Amino acid sequence: MRTGEMNREDAVKDVDRGALTLSAALAAVAGFVDAVGFLDTGGLFVSFMSGNSTQGAVDLLNGESGVAFVSIGIIAAFVIGVTVGATVSLRAARPRAGVVAGSATAVALAAALALGGDSTLWRVGLLAAAMGALNTLFLAEGRARVAITYATGTLVSLGLGLAALLTGGSRTAWRRPLLLWSSLVAGAVIGGLAHRWGSPIALGIAALTLAGAAAAIGWRGLGRAVSPRR
């Protein structure tokens, strides 16, 4: 193999590793923000829409239409975030930096609203939109290859990876989903602890972390990095 070809392969591996690091870091932020949103709303999620769908259906059945419509509103905000993020990812020159920066702005606005007092519904809407957008960072063939903000798909990948390990297939396929799931859980624990200082401070930390991630993406040239292989 020629030296040029080897360099290209090494570059792909490095970019892939960088993209995996990015996805793990953002999964931790997603867990952090979801924990804060969960505590602020008393049991609703800003990144786990399956949970909100079930909760909304149960609340509607029990006659608690107000809470059910809050769940529906959060789901709608999440979908809007995905739509905007995907549009930016498909149209912009350096989409990942833009999407993460936009998410940082939305979380910062939520922190400002928290500092001002109530507006919980607007806050969780902004947070849900931000989390939805993060799921558009690794698109391939019209779908999200990496589930940044929710664990179900990641756990399915983990189970498939373990099955491959047990049946003589890939020995490493389970590692990446385990890393992403662990990152999300760790972020949720830290977010729950940070919430004790108040929502404005906790969300401010999340916004600054996302802003730092956006800057790192631009600086390291991960704006169009190769998506992590699953």
**Residue 10 lies inside a defined structural domain of this protein:** no
Number of domains in the chain: 1
| Burial (CB count <10 Å: 0-12, 13-18, 19+), residue 46 | buried
119, amino acid identity: S
Distance CA 207, CA 26 (A): 11
Other beta carbons within 10 angstroms of residue 122's beta carbon come to: 14
Q: How many percent of the chain have pLDDT more than 90?
A: 55
Selection from 26, 40, 217 nearest residue 133 by Cα: 26
Name the band, by pLDDT with cuts 50, 70 and 90, for residue 139: confident
pTM: 0.86
Q: Out of 27-41, 146-160, 190-204, pick the least confident.
A: 146-160
Give 56's Cβ-side CA count (13 Å radius): 16
**Residue 193 lies inside a defined structural domain of this protein:** yes
- 153 Cβ partners below 8 Å, 6+ apart? 147
Residue 226 has pLDDT above 70, yes or no: no
Residue 155 is part of a domain; what is its CATH number? 1.20.1250
Name the band, by pLDDT with cuts 50, 70 and 90, for residue 182: very high
Residue 126 has pLDDT above 90, yes or no: yes
Task: Quote the domain boundaries for residue 37.
Answer: 15-220
pLDDT score for 21: 87
Distance CA 77, CA 46 (A): 9
**Residue 7 lies inside a defined structural domain of this protein:** no
**Residue 230 lies inside a defined structural domain of this protein:** no
**Residue 115 lies inside a defined structural domain of this protein:** yes
Residue 104 has pLDDT above 80, yes or no: yes
pLDDT score for 137: 87
**Residue 114 lies inside a defined structural domain of this protein:** yes
Name the band, by pLDDT with cuts 50, 70 and 90, for residue 109: very high
**Residue 225 lies inside a defined structural domain of this protein:** no
**Residue 166 lies inside a defined structural domain of this protein:** yes
